Structure 1
């Protein structure tokens, strides 16, 4: 593959740098010092700026007010957002609208939902963690047809921005009414205030408010259910790849902070950065970040182009998740170690990055699980 970014992708990244340049991570109170969530809503002012600069519809076609770009462009923008810990549902809303565009019914695609989302008027999020966060999300909710409606039952945990989004995309499974497609995955679009939808507040590692979503015979119209092969898999892979982009951006900023600190902090009359032990640790983390970047762009390229390889795109995403989950943890741990006492100071912004890194690591899941997935794919390829 060609790792050179196109002019359009670079323009999106440049616009993102301008929008996120003024975001200050330490302006949000520390989760350790705050009871409950750090804020009741996401950064609506920043969201409006993203809409003004056309960054909310990166994956949408021009007919919907979008830019018609690809997952690489989205990941470039997400990487910039993570450097300032931007509190916006950019990944979830972008991934959800891209899935609606690609797999939704004609009625849903032409309803104006996509255009309004690109303008920042409608926010979408995704319930992608299942009942416990350690099981396939589509197994946590059942969907059954009842006349012209669908009835949903089940629970999804840790739904990001659940209290702020206008629509929540919920993966579910159903026994098909056609014998050739039994027990398939579907996507349902629900609103948080409709009958049968119950939200219970949860607080993430970052201090952000999540929601446990319980569906108790919640009904939606057929037009708000996406029943297309590959829809959930496409959304799942895009969310995972976008999370890897967030981990990369966060890690890059943390390493920059560490370089700045060790370059100024002196011990025995010399900057810490001149000590071999410090330089070696920083160099190891730089290698982690380069590996995270290479595997991220490979995964984003595969899911964006549909290019065929020896393994399905899920294999590339699994490799990216392995490096992102392990790499971001090592980067923040090394940063805290090299910052000394400042690394544990809640008045210093590094603790915010550590909290977000832990959240991203948990969202991605353990590297060992992704290694098992990759092993299964390799075994299936060999046997095939």
Structure 2
């Protein structure tokens, strides 16, 4: 079996490296508690370069101006973006666009996707619910009016890039408990934003919807749309954690190779080498579980567990792995790693955000346990078909 990436996926990786090669994490706001640490906007010049390189339309069908690639290609690009802490809504815009392509009405797809692929339309998703712990669709109610429109009421927290997004994908539920996914313009009457600050120092927003009216074609009623969107966001977050971890380990290798103690580079000390080797193993496990989840998400292939199982395994490794990697990096850098002017400080803050975003390792371990509990192999012989 051939596990190499396709030519198209490799081309996407090379294009991403070319775009991000000129980006630098020095421009990333530090989460230090100082006035003005939070940036007001994302990196618009970098966003334009991504659009020019056709990296914003990777997953879109050719009919919408895209390359028709799969989530693996997106994860390859996200991996490169995280190495430089790219401040762009690449994951959110790509994930929402693909969900619209898969589940949305032709009218919605035609009005959103071409513009999103050109970088003219910024998309984001409100998938953390009201508190960050409950299913997102439970935080917002959706009811039909006498006509064909819908009315939304509720609150969603920790929405990334909400202040800059043109459309926000909002999971909601009907009176009968049926989940729906609405694309709500940020400027629509009844939508209000309250600023929040993430662990990484980036702006988030609490979105409040008070009798917000959305048109029929702006609401996706097909079952599974909201859950599929969240799944892609989780997998994309794993890709970002992998890229960040790889960059941090490379920084640590460079530093320990140059810093000398007792006349020798500290990288030659067994205690240092073993810790770095352990983190390398973490990164390879993160990579293997990521590609398994991304491949199944894109192909719909069957596995020993449902797709949710592979996603839970990938996020568990991503959360624990990226945390251990930055902790080891801080330890091996010594006092330099604690300097807020040194890039490692920002990587550490972003790693913590990625670790907890869309559920920490413990939450996904619990989800995996629930799946294993109902697995056919876990039943008694009398219960099996």
Q: What does 1:240-251 align with in structure 2 at a 5 Å threshold?
A: 240-251=234-245
What is the CA deviation profile of residues 282-317 of structure 1, one whole-angstrom value per residue up to 9, with x for unaligned ones? 000000000000000000000000001121111100
Q: Which moved more, 1:253-262 or 1:205-214?
A: 205-214
Distance 1:133 1:125 in 2: 16
Are 2:85 and 2:347, in contact at CA under 8 Å, matched by a contact in 1?
A: yes
Question: After TM superposition, where is structure 1 displaced by more than 3 Å over at least 4 residues in a row?
Answer: none
- Alpha-carbon distance, 1:35 to partner: 2.1
Aligned residue number for residue 32 of structure 2: 32
* Helix, strand or coil at the partner of 2:11: helix
Are 1:9 and 1:72, in contact at CA under 8 Å, matched by a contact in 2?
A: yes
Are 1:37 and 1:203, in contact at CA under 8 Å, matched by a contact in 2?
A: no
Q: Does 1:18 align with 2:25?
A: no
Distance 1:216 1:29 in 2: 33
Aligned residue number for residue 130 of structure 1: 129
Q: Does 1:344 align with 2:338?
A: yes
TM-score, normalised with respect to structure 1: 0.96
Aligned pair partner of 2:204 in 210, 220, 233:
210
Distance 1:186 1:37 in 2: 37
Q: Does 1:265 align with 2:297?
A: no
TM-score, normalised with respect to structure 2: 0.96
- Alpha-carbon distance, 1:191 to partner: 1.4
Are 2:38 and 2:197, in contact at CA under 8 Å, matched by a contact in 1?
A: no
Distance 1:59 1:269 in 2: 52
Q: What does 1:291-306 align with in structure 2 at a 5 Å threshold?
A: 291-306=285-300
Aligned residue number for residue 248 of structure 2: 254
- Alpha-carbon distance, 1:36 to partner: 4.8
- Alpha-carbon distance, 1:2 to partner: 4.4
Are 1:241 and 1:296, in contact at CA under 8 Å, matched by a contact in 2?
A: yes
Distance 2:149 2:37 in 1: 36
Distance 2:322 2:304 in 1: 28
Q: Does 1:375 align with 2:369?
A: yes
Are 2:25 and 2:84, in contact at CA under 8 Å, matched by a contact in 1?
A: yes
Distance 1:329 1:31 in 2: 17
Distance 2:169 2:345 in 1: 32
Q: Which moved more, 1:50-59 or 1:371-380?
A: 371-380
- Alpha-carbon distance, 1:370 to partner: 1.0
- Alpha-carbon distance, 1:109 to partner: 1.6
* Helix, strand or coil at the partner of 1:240: helix
Distance 2:54 2:108 in 1: 22
Are 1:325 and 1:364, in contact at CA under 8 Å, matched by a contact in 2?
A: no
Are 1:152 and 1:217, in contact at CA under 8 Å, matched by a contact in 2?
A: yes
What is the CA deviation profile of residues 88-123 of structure 1, one whole-angstrom value per residue up to 9, with x for unaligned ones? 000000000000011001211222x20011000001
Are 2:279 and 2:325, in contact at CA under 8 Å, matched by a contact in 1?
A: yes
Aligned residue number for residue 268 of structure 2: 274
What is the CA deviation profile of residues 118-165 of structure 1, one whole-angstrom value per residue up to 9, with x for unaligned ones? 000001000011111111111111111112111111110010000000
- Alpha-carbon distance, 1:56 to partner: 0.1
Are 1:200 and 1:211, in contact at CA under 8 Å, matched by a contact in 2?
A: yes
Distance 2:208 2:247 in 1: 37
- Compared with structure 1, are the counterparts of its residues 2 and 212 closer, same or farther at alpha carbon in structure 2 (3 Å cutoff)? farther
Q: Does 1:41 align with 2:41?
A: yes
Distance 1:37 1:199 in 2: 20
Aligned residue number for residue 93 of structure 2: 93
Distance 1:234 1:324 in 2: 19
Q: Which moved more, 1:143-152 or 1:285-294?
A: 143-152
Aligned residue number for residue 66 of structure 1: 66
Distance 2:73 2:368 in 1: 26
Q: What does 1:149-168 align with in structure 2 at a 5 Å threshold?
A: 149-168=149-168
* Helix, strand or coil at the partner of 2:22: coil
Distance 1:36 1:185 in 2: 39
| Structure 1 vs Structure 2 CA RMSD | 1.1
Aligned pair partner of 2:321 in 320, 327, 348:
327
* Helix, strand or coil at the partner of 1:198: strand
Distance 2:222 2:138 in 1: 17
Aligned residue number for residue 115 of structure 1: 114
* Helix, strand or coil at the partner of 1:308: coil
